[in-house]
Structure 1
Amino acid sequence: MNETMTAQEVINQFEKWAPKHFAYDWDNVGLQVGTLHKPVHTIMVTLDVLENVVDEAIEKGVDLIIAHHPLLFVKLSQINLDTPKGRVVQKLIKHDITVYAAHTNLDVAAGGVNDVMADLLGVKQTKPLIETEKDSLVKLTVFVPESHANELREAISEAGAGHIGNYSHCTYQLSGQGTFKPESGTDPYIGEQGKMEYVDEKRIETIVPKTKLPAVLKAMEDTHPYEEVAYDLYPLLNEGEQMGVGRVGKLDEPVLLSTLVERVKKEYQVPHVRVSGNLDKKVKKVALLGGSGEKYIHAAKRSGADVYVTGDMTFHMTQDAAEMGLSVIDPGHHVEKVVCPKVKQYLEDHCNGVGNLNIIISESNTEPFKVI
């Protein structure tokens, strides 16, 4: 195991889960401040990058901050060190702390913000509330010596190949004989220069989402013993996974709206919520969207949802929802923090086998509201 990873290597692993192209065009995801070309030892996961968070990062010797909300969301015309934003940037640069943001790409990603919110409430059989795009699919066919077939199959499956519905590691293989003649300047794993070789090989076929293809090809090349890997890629007409923001799904059993309210408070760890609707009404189908989701109340209604869980609901939009017969639970914008443990776990699972990292979640409070 390597002693250290670079920030770029960490982000490469992270973007296998939440690639930047998942984000909306208006969003500013990715590197915010600093450099990715440096070793990292301590990573802090946070919802926001405010001055108290940066002070905590300095105190704890953090090298890389991975935030949900971009530090530089609005285009800057100046960096004024007399402003809170300017002081934050100054401290980050002075203490060599890199900041990376995963915003709407983490909202869209499977297992990201909205899926965590749904899982906590027991909302199942989910699909996107707002569809963005469908991931296109390709078929990968690779030829590998029998001795390395199982290792290669495992590597490409772990990198994202071979997922069909709720099944993983889906491949098909045939046995055959590969032939090749190493020419001058080669360093063959099997055989000698100028001599024809006949090798018992496996032909392994699998399906790969196009967004996972770079990671799958890298895993294939890293695992394959040959100097030159023989493989084919075929575009497919099969439709890939539907991606989008928000989620719509169902509870196992109908519950009173008041019961769901208490579940939201408990699972999202918030002391209060705002509610619109009949608390004695039973609800089963739930739409939800982390962050600010009031503009999607019509989509929530069209989905057949009984209740919509989202933050930043305004007076008139909540009235509109009520008139449509759509109950609303507003736990605030800050509940997106529930994704932080998932990000920490993902990094531990995918990076600590490569580098020795200390991954922490910020303990600083960035919720601006208090209810008195």
Structure 2
Amino acid sequence: MPATVRDLLEVLDRLCPFRLAYDWDNVGLQVGDPSAVVERVAIGLEVNQPFLDFAASRDCQLLLVHHPLIFSPLKALRYDTLVGALVAELVAARRALIVAHTNLDRVLHGTAAVIAQHLALRHAHPLEPAELEPRMKFVVFVPKTHTPAVIEAIHRGGGGIIGNYSHCTFRSPGTGTYVPESGANPYQGTVGKFEEAEEDRLEAVVPRRCIRSVLREVLAVHPYEEVAYDIYPLIEGQPSAGLGLVGELERPSTVAAIAECLARACGVDHVSLVGRPSARVRRVAIVTGSAGSSVDHVGPADADLFITGELNYHRAAEAKQRGLNVLCVGHAASEKLVAPHLAELLRADPLVRQSGVELHVFTKYEEPFTPLSLAASPTRQPKTRRRKA
């Protein structure tokens, strides 16, 4: 069965949930029809003319990029502006555009993971942890005869999912006690008499957004007139999402050695450094693209080296004063490798495999800045005339 734009949106939402994007960001479907059929996808860092030409040459119906094409709200769609012209070309060719920006930055297998893999970073965890989704613990007490039905009801409501596993619950046996009062219609027991019932305490993790649907499904199959249940908020002990990564090298290295490694991996012939090339490195922090304020809260005690794409002057100066080594490999250079990485993640998805969607990767992005070496010109001495004696 052919895939649609909507199908690919759902796959991406599982890989890097769009709700993880910052409020100021613009992610998801920016151009196109959700119901359009997709046979070929072009994956790149951002939409520019070379990337559009690449997608057109392969007749791709969908473009998937990291940087938003439409970032600020458009007040007009003029074809004599850069964004307007690119959007117009997409619309005319009926090509859809999906953006995975800071939501991809904030998952463990996102943009920073590409750099981390090249460095063989171990024990990596988010530099700035974020809650993937608020979760609750749903606990219900049910007679043993109805435990399987209630487990299925929790699943239908959207609960009991942990990673790639569904129907995840835990139950412990116990004895429930009650006295049905006047007007009660007990499933088991007699009005006015003390009753003991063999029950299971059944518990499951439920996303907060699904708690009402889980409760509705459970109440529909539970045999009791009055169902006893508890709902507890959960605190994530081991963050599974967040901006950037921090981890340890398998063996100590130096800033210079790491710079050479990343220059080769990112396809650049120069990098920028704040700090000492000979500094010893064991612990590394990574934020691709523009580090922004992330570097403000990292010091030498947190990481021996902070790797990013770019950093402005004032933050670079402050990092130097704090004694933090910062390696800038270029904004595009630090993120363009996410395209082949994202293609690998998509190929592992069952829907993408079964639908036979072709994935085409584009990585030919260059930094807008060109290093210019200026040879020092010899100082010209003004010509003087000799006076005749």
- Please state how far the C-alpha of 1:237 moved relative to its aligned partner: 3.5
What one-letter code is carried by the residue in structure 2 that aligns with 1:238?
A: L
- Please state how far the C-alpha of 1:205 moved relative to its aligned partner: 6.2
Distance 1:293 1:329 in 2: 11
1:99/1:326 Cα in 2 relative to 1: closer, same or farther (>3 Å)? same
% identical equivalent positions: 28
Counterpart of 1:239?
Answer: 235
Decide whether the 8 Å contact of 2:127 with 2:243 is kept in 1.
yes
- Please state how far the C-alpha of 1:16 moved relative to its aligned partner: 1.0
1:102/1:134 Cα in 2 relative to 1: closer, same or farther (>3 Å)? closer
Counterpart of 1:338?
Answer: 337
Decide whether the 8 Å contact of 1:5 with 1:354 is kept in 2.
no
- 2:215 maps to 1:256: no
1:83/1:171 Cα in 2 relative to 1: closer, same or farther (>3 Å)? closer
Q: Structure 1 residues 352-361 or 26-35, which shifts more? A: 352-361
Alignment of 1:277-288 (within 5 A): 277-288=275-286
- Please state how far the C-alpha of 1:315 moved relative to its aligned partner: 2.8
1:26 to 24, 27, 38: 24
Distance 1:209 1:38 in 2: 30
Question: Which sections of structure 1, spanning at least 5 residues, go unmatched?
Answer: 177-201, 222-227
- Please state how far the C-alpha of 1:235 moved relative to its aligned partner: 4.4
Higher strand share: 1
Counterpart of 1:269?
Answer: 267
Aligned partner of residue 14 in structure 2, secondary structure:
coil
Aligned partner of residue 289 in structure 1, secondary structure:
strand
Distance 1:84 1:109 in 2: 31
1:236/1:125 Cα in 2 relative to 1: closer, same or farther (>3 Å)? farther
Counterpart of 1:359?
Answer: 359
- Please state how far the C-alpha of 1:204 moved relative to its aligned partner: 8.8
Which structure has more relative contact order (CA 8 Å, sep 6+)? It is 1
Q: Structure 1 residues 257-266 or 92-101, which shifts more? A: 257-266
1:115/1:41 Cα in 2 relative to 1: closer, same or farther (>3 Å)? same
- Please state how far the C-alpha of 1:72 moved relative to its aligned partner: 0.4
1:305 to 303, 306, 320: 303
What one-letter code is carried by the residue in structure 1 that aligns with 2:338?
A: V
Counterpart of 1:82?
Answer: 80
1:364/1:234 Cα in 2 relative to 1: closer, same or farther (>3 Å)? farther
Decide whether the 8 Å contact of 1:140 with 1:207 is kept in 2.
yes
What one-letter code is carried by the residue in structure 2 that aligns with 1:339?
A: V
- Please state how far the C-alpha of 1:297 moved relative to its aligned partner: 2.0
- Please state how far the C-alpha of 1:116 moved relative to its aligned partner: 2.5
Aligned partner of residue 359 in structure 2, secondary structure:
strand
Counterpart of 1:195?
Answer: none
Alignment of 1:59-138 (within 5 A): 59-133=57-131, 135-138=133-136
Aligned partner of residue 133 in structure 1, secondary structure:
coil
Aligned residue-pair number: 326
Decide whether the 8 Å contact of 2:308 with 2:328 is kept in 1.
yes
What one-letter code is carried by the residue in structure 2 that aligns with 1:345?
A: E
Question: Which sections of structure 2, spanning at least 5 residues, go unmatched?
Answer: 140-145, 174-199, 373-389
Give the structure with higher Rg (CA): 2
1:140/1:41 Cα in 2 relative to 1: closer, same or farther (>3 Å)? farther
Distance 1:18 1:229 in 2: 34
1:82/1:134 Cα in 2 relative to 1: closer, same or farther (>3 Å)? closer
TM-score (norm. length: structure 1): 0.75
Distance 1:168 1:32 in 2: 32
Counterpart of 2:162?
Answer: 162
TM-score (norm. length: structure 2): 0.72
Counterpart of 1:370?
Answer: 370
